[in-house]
Amino acid sequence: MTDWFPWLTWRPDTTEQAFRDSFIRRMRTPTNWSIALATVVGLSFILYAMWTGDDWQSTSNIYRVSMIAVMVGFLLIGTRLGDPTWMMSLYATTLIVITLAGLMFLASARRYGALTEGGPMVVAMLCGILPVLHLGHKLMIWLLLAVFVGVITQQPGIETGWTLFYYAVTVSVLSVYQWQMDRLMRIQYLAESLEREKAETDHLTGTLNRYSFEARLSERLTTLEPGEGVALAMVDIDFFKQFNDHYGHLEGDRALVRIAKSLDQTPADLVVRFGGEEFVVLSFFTDRPPAWVSDLHETVSALGLVHEASPLGTLTISVGVACFVSQGKSDRATVKSLLTAADHQLYQVKANGRNQTRYVDL
């Protein structure tokens, strides 16, 4: 089913939704340009009709002007709409324009006693170039216009010739192209997501790396509302160099993975391998820091990983925590200030015997 209807059955659902959100953001401007092009085409039809002697106030021209007004109205109002509302408004606008186009073809056919192949084909192609709409959207749009064309072919005294046939061929070609684009765009998005995940993830432990952590935290700090806060815990494995010297680097890697998993099992929002034997644990909260942060060192000591080269006998961690609660837009912490404060607390823990958690409020 995924191969035939990618916009309906792509899995997992979170991936499909993430793709759509990203795609809508990227395609808003190209879609607006496509609508502007359709507006110019509609205006050119009006001017050509008047040049050939058609009455400005003819029913056909009234429908054409109405289509242009609807499209221009969407372009003006759409700039104020969020992505989900904009997308729904675009689809509704397209259906309204197609309905007006169908009525225009019907009025023109009754007036001139004929419907040529070009009109419906042009409208179908203009709908086809809207990049943000997937095949499911476009099939409904093309089907609506096909209903009008079918009704016209049944009208007595109206010559339609091969109009319906050519329209069906045009829609078939556009549908195959759109189906391929729907699949290829999703395949490309998935590949890009995997590459981005690799670039942001520590290969050994599977946690985020330092680069992605700093980018995400910096962005999040700018959006903190009053009363919202962040707890940043700087974690350092005690006597880890001695562990590597005693057991070897492969065992050291296994220990890093075990510790990363234990930290990841906490309610933390982000777990980051900061470098070497250092990790950063982030937790966002409202009003008060979560209680589990103050006992973070116990998550590793509870593993009971033997460390004969340590005076503590097992692998342990020392933790320094910096907590910040926003009081308003003018009250902002930075990644550097949080790291500096947490690192200072970590230094105090190491000076006081290790295997502890110590925190400070900024």
Which residues are known catalytic residues? Answer: 277
Q: Which of 352, 341, 343 is nearest to 319 (CA)?
A: 343
Q: Parallel, antiparallel, or unpaired for β 278-286 and 270-275?
A: antiparallel
- Count of CB atoms within 10 A of residue 129's CB? 15
Residue recorded with tokens 């408004």: 89
* Bridge partners of residue 286, in order along the sequence: 228
- Count of CB atoms within 10 A of residue 355's CB? 20
- By the 8 A CB rule, do 205 and 256 touch? yes
The side-by-side arrangement of strands in the sheet containing 317-325 is 270-275, 278-286, 228-237, 317-325, 357-361
Complete DSSP assignment for 187-213: HHHHHHHHHHHHHHB-TTT-SB-HHHH
Tokens of 304: 């009971």
Tokens of 26: 């990227």
In sequence order, what E strands does the chain have? 228-237, 270-275, 278-286, 317-325, 357-361
Dihedral, CA atoms, 220, 223, 224, 225, nearest 10 degrees?
Answer: -160
Q: Which amino acid would we find at residue 181?
A: M
- Count of CB atoms within 10 A of residue 186's CB? 20
What is the rounded distance in angstroms from the CA atom of residue 228 to the CA atom of residue 221?
10
Task: Name every residue whose Cβ is closer than 8 Å to that of residue 360 and which is 6 or more positions away in sequence.
Answer: 321, 322, 323, 341, 344, 345
Dihedral, CA atoms, 78, 82, 84, 89, nearest 10 degrees?
Answer: -20
